[in-house]
Amino acid sequence: MPAAGAPGPGFCEFGTIVPVYDGKCIVSYRCETQTADIAPGTCPELVPPGPGFCEFGTIVPVYDSNKCIVSYRCI
């Protein structure tokens, strides 16, 4: 399985980048943010991952319960 490249600049400006593992392999990254400071109905604006993040797959957004994109994964 090819290694997932690190997210590009701006991927998670207001949170913490957390690797997502499949066994011992990093398959994607997610952005963990503190949503307590965000007004209801608004979402933080995330920058899509940079080149090389998902070279051999498809980048898919991950949504939270408020329908905000909180990270991206590679499938």
pLDDT tens by residue, 5-49? 777 777 877 778 888 888 888 888 888 776 555 555 677 777 778
Strands 69-74, 59-63: pairing is antiparallel
CA of 49: how far to CAs of 17, 29, 34, 39, 52, in Å? 11, 9, 20, 25, 8
- 9 CB-near residues (< 8 Å, 6+ apart): 47, 50
pLDDT of residue 23: 82
Q: How large is the average pLDDT for residues 57-68?
A: 83
Query: Would you say the pTM of this structure is higher than 0.75?
Result: no
- Length of the chain, in residues: 75
Strands 15-22, 59-63: pairing is unpaired
